[in-house]
Every structure is written in C-alpha cells, then in structure tokens.
Structure 1
Amino acid sequence: MYLRLIWDQPPDDGQDEKAAIEAAFRYSPFRLTSPLMKHPRGGYGFHANCRAEDVEAIVQLLRDHNLLSVI
C-alpha cells in the first residue's frame, strides 16, 4: 500500500522527518518496501507491507509516533 506521511506537529526529540518515519516503521509489523521519497506537496511517500484492513493499526502506529497519515 502507498502511504504519504506529513507532520501533525514536529517530534520533541529533534529527529528529522525522514528519520522519524523510518523509526516508526522499523519495528512495526508494517515493513517499508521502498525508500522514502520526498513528496512535492510536503512529507514523504513510500510503500509499506500492509493492506487496507490494516488502516486502524497504522493510524494507531502513527499516533504513537506523533505522525499524521494521508492515505
């Protein structure tokens, strides 16, 4: 599934956007299957190993890491 992630608010620990996204997915069941690509309208786009049925779990993962998803 293709995902595009943008900030809800910046992370507290000073991580950059790309590193924060990679960290959020690193130990999740939704592994990244493509490199992060800077999106022209902001944020990063990438593919992750997930299905439409996984949306609620992905939203929770993003909330846990202070990220907002635009799917």
Structure 2
Amino acid sequence: MNDSKHPFASRKDRHEEIGRGTLGEAPFRRLILDPRLRHVPKILETPKGDDGADADIRNLTLLRSFRERSR
C-alpha cells in the first residue's frame, strides 16, 4: 500500500506516505473497511526517508485509525 506522488496514468511509480499523495486517504479507508479484504495481507510500500521505522509507524497508525473511526 502506498499513495502516489504523481497523478493517475502519469506512467510514474513514485511512492508517497498514505494520505499525503494524489490519492489521499479515501481509497485506503475503503480498502481497510471492506470486509472482503480484512484477512488479505497488505504490504506497506511507503518512503522511509531519514526516520525509517517512524515512517512505518506513522503510516500504520493512520491505516489502523480508519478501522477505529468506523466503530
């Protein structure tokens, strides 16, 4: 899972943090909340930058918050 630095059909695959790219949060919220996908493993492919694990924690926290907000 990753947001995109470039718009759809730009033919560029440049990853961005969840919710900070051209896709925004909405498609990720739908993926997280879709019961058909609940048990499907997901791979986080976001930039790490200088803070490495902190970036992963930030993105995972956001993704998990979608589930919490829907309860």
* Both structures adopt the same fold (TM-score exceeding 0.5): no
Structure with the largest fraction of helix: 2
TM-score range, shorter chain: under 0.3
TM-score (norm 2): 0.27
Rg larger in 1 or in 2?
A: 2
TM-score (norm 1): 0.27
Structure with the largest fraction of strand: 1
